[in-house]
Amino acid sequence: MTARTQRFLEFRMPDVGEGLTEAEILKWYVGVGDAVTDGQVVCEVETAKAAVELPIPYDGVVSEIRFGEGTTVDVGTPIIVVEAGEGAGGAASTGEPSAGGAPRTAEPEPAAGTGAAGAGPDQAEGGKREAVLVGYGVAASATTRRARKPQGPSDGPRTAGAVPQQPTEANGHAVPAPVPASASAPAPAPVSAPASPPVRAAAPPLAPEPAPSVERPLAKPPVRKLAKDLGIDLATVVPTGPNGEVTREDIRAAAVPPGRLTSTEAPEPAVAAGGAARETRVPVKGVRRATAQAMVASAFTAPHVTEFVTFDITRTMKLVQKLREDRAFAGLKVSPLLLVAKALLVAVRRNPEVNASWDEERQEIVRKSYVNLGIAAATPRGLIVPNIKDAQDKTLPELAAALGELVTTAREGRTSPATMQGGTVTITNVGVFGIDTGTPILNPGESAILAFGAVKLQPWVHKGKVKPRHVTTLALSFDHRLVDGELGSKVLADVAAVLEQPQRMITWT
């Protein structure tokens, strides 16, 4: 009888978004023992830009889940292992890595001698198929690195013991299999006294194992960058990863002087007499970390100027009520933010110089004839700024539909990385939190951001008399390298003028 061949296929964390180096596992949809099929979504991960669902390119049964939910994993690291039996089909039966996996067999020997046993048809089928995830191809570097493993001690004793005792009978098979009766006689020989020296002789290969780390230690590019940033020489770091690979934890441990706490040894929360924690530490990662880095870069790169204007927005609030009853907006959400967005588009059309970006490398101002209108959205994972592409060409109902879809998608955590790229100007609606105004920080690469404050009923001079009117405040922050005070003032004044007299949306376009 022929033993059933088992293959274990590793699925690696793919690069799901334009060169990102890591992602956090948010949720597993499968567990150990579950059957999976090619293309089935097995988990959801979050990068610095968005949450993405990952499909697996194998058929088989989940045998191992390497990382739990909430863990941040480097791109290229195996995160789940699938056991695929003979005839499972698809990438699983080939044993070759597809989009994100590198296979490994339960027994190392068959990998070298599978030849005639049935690899031909499977490999022919696998040669026609290569499953590739979004933004992720076959990781050649990972397969090259694995080639160093055969230098381990497991191969030494077998070769040393097999050469003098069974040069002919067992030469073609690395795994014990039914052999002729004549082969059973020499079997005890490797177990006797001669077998002992080969075992001792195989020990020395363990000593040279650290040698590669002296020449060029094994480490992923993000780990090398971390070491460079912290001033750590990789050759001095003791590796704890697979195959002698240096990990992030190794770098952090080497960077912390003795007696100091590492990031993985955070102090226990201080507990008051009543038992409640006085301090809680929350890891900064994913979207929140990316936002923090972007805001710091923007604040200390672009010279910010903020201007304010307070005005009567009563006519716009009345128009919002009328539009909600208009058939053209059936099924669409009409809010004051929609008309603020339209007013900003009108102001940009009247002052096109404001719609630009700064090219630091070439020392040029890049003026744009399109408006990708960003809308800052607060989500459970942090602040994100998706944008409406070519917003200047949309009618008011089209703008309402795009705005509604953008906000809904953001709150559900389904915003794609592409939607958050290429913005030109942004609106942040701080008024929904009851805030009058603020000094918003520019989204990196953009020229201006408009803060829309709360709309409140206040006493206001209208037609020579003090009356209760709806009043709001707008704040416009802009990059003073691109926009001088006069241009910024014109843009802000135009937005306010359109919202004071909404008919200007027609007369000014």
Residue (of 109, 107, 103) closest to 146 by Cα position: 103
| pLDDT value at residue 243 | 79
Other Cβ atoms within 10 Å of 360 Cβ, number? 9
| pLDDT value at residue 109 | 38
| pLDDT value at residue 226 | 77
| pLDDT value at residue 119 | 38
Q: Known catalytic residue: 480? A: yes
Q: Where are the beta strands (DSSP E) in 382-507?
A: 382-384, 387-388, 425-428, 448-452, 456-462, 465-479
pLDDT beneath 50: ranges in the chain: 1-2, 87-214, 258-268
Interacting residues of 198 by C-beta distance below 8 A, sequence separation 6+: 156, 157, 160, 161
User: Which amino acid belongs to residue 115?
Assistant: G
| pLDDT value at residue 24 | 85
Q: How far apart are CA 6 and CA 311, in angstroms?
A: 73
| pLDDT value at residue 92 | 39
Interacting residues of 408 by C-beta distance below 8 A, sequence separation 6+: none
| pLDDT value at residue 17 | 64
Spell out the domains of the chain, with CATH numbers in brackets: 6-151 (2.40.50.100), 210-258 (4.10.320.10), 287-507 (3.30.559.10)
DSSP secondary structure letter of residue 3: P
| pLDDT value at residue 223 | 78
| pLDDT value at residue 158 | 43
| pLDDT value at residue 366 | 94
Interacting residues of 464 by C-beta distance below 8 A, sequence separation 6+: none
| pLDDT value at residue 433 | 92
Residue (of 400, 430, 405) closest to 415 by Cα position: 405
| pLDDT value at residue 304 | 92
Q: How far apart are CA 404 and CA 350, in angstroms?
A: 26
Segment 221-269, tens digit of pLDDT: 777 777 777 778 888 888 888 878 888 878 777 765 544 444 444 444 5
